A = this chain, B = another copy of it.
């Protein structure tokens, strides 16, 4: 979908993004630059790349890193299966790095890259991982119209100017000013022309791209109110916050998959009812062996937790099919995928036994897919009486009437 397809306004021919990621992380107080710090086991820059990558109308993403981090960045791209990404070598300041990134689009004749020059280029910090498609679209459309655009936020603190003696000179009226945030977007020709005219002083001491577009191209950027998500990971406390936000997002969605047998569908329905007050739940009844476009939609909606319910004793095959579908869907597996395979022991049968060979097979499978960031758990559910499990709950009991719950897996 092109930006013009979503909102009124002219369609944009091509949109690319440049992510400066050359910072040294001084303010974080650690040795690792903040963009490479891991959050839930994954480098921060990978979350930001993913946030841009999932936007279908962004064609290329340039990540600009300092020379010593080029190999690190390449291995991150490899490890997390990022597409559309090109690594560029950064300069010694922020503006020099962004300029280097932009050059990749303009100097194709001299290089091996075959990157199409975009009509609009987004500039976004590698340390702002929670950017949403909505604000990206807004700044791109505003840049198409005004030549430049940037996200802004209200000031959290009053801004003051100090006199030479270290005393207060004056304070700014907070309501008249805004914090300039990212993303920003520019007609490529405008920002590139601005950088070409920059003085060394600009390149060494400046930080604000909107300022360059104004100074050198007389382009007054359109300012777009952004949401609180746009904040920049600056201090160690911000890494803590990012970690908690990502953890939170992990547990917000679950998809219950059942086959089409009535008894199993009913269990799925009851589980759905139990869970829906706590987390976002989808439920589908499909034959996994046939594939399903509805499931594809669920994957791309970033639901990565599944409970597959069936009445076979083991269902390694079904789980294998789900894993295959996940892999074929070609989505980068950002967060761990959790698959719980719940096996209802034959509803008519009260005997209970574990097939050790099957169990070993399942555990081996779980170990294998764990490497792909897919966590498989198995659950054997035995009903105490000859009736549907969870029926106890329908009658007002809070605990399901299950005689045994046995966990297997990783």
**A residues neighboring B (CB under 8 Å):** 27, 146, 148, 150, 152-153, 155-163, 166-172, 174-181, 205, 207-208, 210-211, 214, 220-223, 228, 231-232, 234-235, 237-238, 240-245
Who on chain B is nearest to A234 by CB?
B156
List, sorted by A's number, 24 A–B pairs whose CB atoms are closer than 8 Å: A156-B179, A156-B232, A157-B179, A157-B181, A159-B172, A159-B180, A160-B177, A160-B179, A160-B180, A160-B208, A161-B176, A162-B178, A166-B222, A167-B222, A168-B210, A168-B220, A171-B180, A171-B210, A171-B214, A175-B205, A228-B235, A240-B240, A240-B244, A240-B245
Assembly CA distance A244 to B161 (angstroms):
33
Classify the interface of chain A: helix, strand, loop or mixed. Answer: mixed
Which residue of B166, B231, B232 contacts A223 across the interface (Cβ within 8 Å)?
Answer: B166
Q: Work out how many copies of this chain go into the complex.
A: 2
Residues on B with C-beta less than 8 A from A170 are 214
Residues on B with C-beta less than 8 A from A168 are 148, 150, 210, 214, 220-223
- Since A168-B210, A175-B205 are in contact, a sample of 19 more A-B pairs with Cβ atoms closer than 8 Å, ordered by chain A residue number, is A27-B228, A152-B162, A157-B180, A158-B179, A158-B207, A159-B159, A159-B172, A160-B177, A162-B178, A163-B220, A168-B223, A171-B210, A171-B211, A171-B214, A174-B207, A231-B237, A237-B244, A237-B245, A240-B243
Residues on B with C-beta less than 8 A from A178 are 159-162
Assembly CA distance A162 to B178 (angstroms):
8
Assembly CA distance A211 to B171 (angstroms):
7
Who on chain B is nearest to A162 by CB?
B223
Residues on B with C-beta less than 8 A from A155 are 159
Q: Establish whether residues B166 and A208, one from each chain, have CB atoms under 8 Å apart when the complex forms.
A: no
Residues on B with C-beta less than 8 A from A169 are 220
Residues on B with C-beta less than 8 A from A228 are 27, 235, 237
Q: Establish whether residues A167 and B179, one from each chain, have CB atoms under 8 Å apart when the complex forms.
A: no
Residues on B with C-beta less than 8 A from A166 are 222-223
Which residue of B171, B177, B241 contacts A237 across the interface (Cβ within 8 Å)?
Answer: B241
A276 to chain B, nearest CB (A): 22
Assembly CA distance A178 to B146 (angstroms):
30
Assembly CA distance A131 to B410 (angstroms):
43
Residues on B with C-beta less than 8 A from A220 are 163, 167-169
Residues on B with C-beta less than 8 A from A160 are 152, 177-180, 208, 210, 223
Which residue of B152, B163, B238 contacts A241 across the interface (Cβ within 8 Å)?
Answer: B238
Residues on B with C-beta less than 8 A from A238 are 237, 241
Residues on B with C-beta less than 8 A from A207 are 158, 174
